[in-house]
């Protein structure tokens, strides 16, 4: 599977002693801590064309809706700090993000049909990642467009990405363009490629086999 991953700059990520981090009780099993921000994705980094960009919500909703980038920027935002854990074994603590809280967005901007129980996030180039609706409603789930107080870097998802807490970081789709709501779960890109659908780093749910 990892041959599918396009790695960023190949630096030594083991910048902090794992024991020190584990002692804090915040480092899940099999992970090591890094201060860097590795870049991981399949395919190229898309360029943002504001005129062509929209953000769509569809599937099991009463009414499909879409937002331009300027419309999206008017939505209320919040800041979230969380630890991120990549299935390729790096973790990064206290990452700080700003964006639209997904739970608020789904409650105020979207009328989900009662049958909607799963969400598929759609990124540029057909990338998908799936989560159950209750995880999408997690208070730290974000439609994130700032990292560390700055707009997202292109390789980290500019202009906007999903941020899904409590799971391996692959559920956090970069270059987010749409959310689709479903009655039954549908595996996303990495989930179809052998990764565990539940993806809890504390249970080390890396693979589906
Ligand atoms: N669109 C898109 N989003 C993606 C991916 C991808 O391949 N395409 N890979 C995921 C994986 S495997 C990880 S670990 C994180 C990495 O985010 P980062 O590059 O900002 O560290 O993005 C996730 N989101
Ligand atoms: Mo990942």
Q: What is the pLDDT of residues 107-119, one digit of tens each?
A: 999 999 999 999 9
Provide the mean pLDDT of the chain: 92
Ligand 1 pocket, residue 86 CB under 6 Å: yes
pLDDT at 26 over 80: yes
Per-residue pLDDT reduced to its tens digit, 37-86: 999 999 999 999 999 999 999 999 999 999 999 999 999 999 999 999 99
Residue 12: pLDDT band (50, 70, 90) is very low
Backbone phi and psi for residue 119, each to the nearest 5 degrees, phi listed first: -125, 135
Tell me the β-bridge partners of 41: 6
Ligand 2 centroid vs 39 CA: distance in angstroms?
9
Query: In ligand 1, which atom is closest to the CA atom of 127?
Result: 1
Predicted local distance difference test score (pLDDT) of residue 24 = 75
Ligand 1 pocket, residue 42 CB under 6 Å: yes
Task: Provide the token pair at 90.
Answer: 């790096």
Q: Give the SS3 label for residue 199.
A: coil
* pTM reported for the whole predicted model: 0.92
pLDDT at 19 over 80: no
**Who's near 62: CB < 8 A, 6+ residues apart?**
111, 112, 113
């Amino acid at each position: 599977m990892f041959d599918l991953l396009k790695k960023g700059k190949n630096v030594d990520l083991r910048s902090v002693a794992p024991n020190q981090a584990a002692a804090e009780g915040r480092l899940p099993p099999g992970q090591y801590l890094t201060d860097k921000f590795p870049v991981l994705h399949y395919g190229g980094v898309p360029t943002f064309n504001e005129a062509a960009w929209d953000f769509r919500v569809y599937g099991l909703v009463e009414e499909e809706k879409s937002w331009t980038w300027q419309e999206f920027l008017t939505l209320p935002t919040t800041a979230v700090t969380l630890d991120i854990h990549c299935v390729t074994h790096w973790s990064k603590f206290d990452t700080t993000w700003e964006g639209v809280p997904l739970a608020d967005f789904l409650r105020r901007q979207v009328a989900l049909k009662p049958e909607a129980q799963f969400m598929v996030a759609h990124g540029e180039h057909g990338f998908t990642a799936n989560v159950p609706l209750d995880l999408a409603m997690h208070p730290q789930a974000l439609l994130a467009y700032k990292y560390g107080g700055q707009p997202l870097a292109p390789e980290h998802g500019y202009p906007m990405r999903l941020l899904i807490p409590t799971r391996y970081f692959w559920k956090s789709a970069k270059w987010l363009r749409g959310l689709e709501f479903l009655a039954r779960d549908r595996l996303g890109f990495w989930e179809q490629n052998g990764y565990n659908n539940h993806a809890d780093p504390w249970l080390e749910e890396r693979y589906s086999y």
